Chains A and B, each alone.
Chain A
Amino acid sequence: EDQVTQSPEALRLQEGESSSLNCSYTVSGLRGLFWYRQDPGKGPEFLFTLYSAGEEKEKERLKATLTKKESFLHITAPKPEDSATYLCAVQAPLYSGGYNKLIFGAGTRLAVHP
């Protein structure tokens, strides 16, 4: 069964304290792994797509990496505005054909304090 597991569930950091969020997955034939950011009361906002092991993508203080079994979201010198829930999702087969269904993990709630 296709599954996505994120850890930790919650993470509290001091401003400037770098850390990493983990996303481990089991899926038959990974087509893509996505990272989203979700603020309270809002829908998820797209951050990155990764396709193959060894790939890395960066955006401001965030860097996403991918291996054959997991992905990491590295946060360098975070600021309070980075506080949000970070969601990981993998692309999986649709019942009706095609591969555009996303299976999401439960997310990591990040709080960055000044």
Chain B
Amino acid sequence: GAGVSQSPSNKVTEKGKDVELRCDPISGHTALYWYRQSLGQGLEFLIYFQGNSAPDKSGLPSDRFSAERTGGSVSTLTIQRTQQEDSAVYLCASSFDPGQGLYYNSPLHFGNGTRLTVT
């Protein structure tokens, strides 16, 4: 089937506006991750969803960032009152993960990202 799908592929917004980024994971994948990639930087972990468990939000850089995952499938990352430093590529990934704190080594499958530019 299809891979991880992200939309939009590009987003230009004015400073102070809110933006929503969407991710459709691979069907059957229980875990979903958001990462941020800035120019010349490694991927920065933002948030992790696993089934019905409470998400791990430990990577969110500020309270302007939030994410939800509806029905265990599609996820939306929302950035409120965008700032120029929010400009980056936002990557979504999914994997099969049994959860419950169990170690599992299924590789992450990434989408092609949303390039966000805040002017």
Contacts and interface: CB of A to CB of B under 8 A. Distances in A.
Contacts of A87: 42-43
A100 B104 contact: yes
Contact of B31 (A34, A51, A100): A100
Interface in B10-55: 31, 33, 35, 40-45, 48, 50, 53-55
Contacts of A4: 42
Nearest to A42: B112
Interface residues of B, number: 36
Interface in A42-73: 42-46, 49, 51
Interface residues of A, number: 30
Contacts of A99: 103
Interface in A92-107: 94-107
A83 interface: no
Contacts of A36: 110
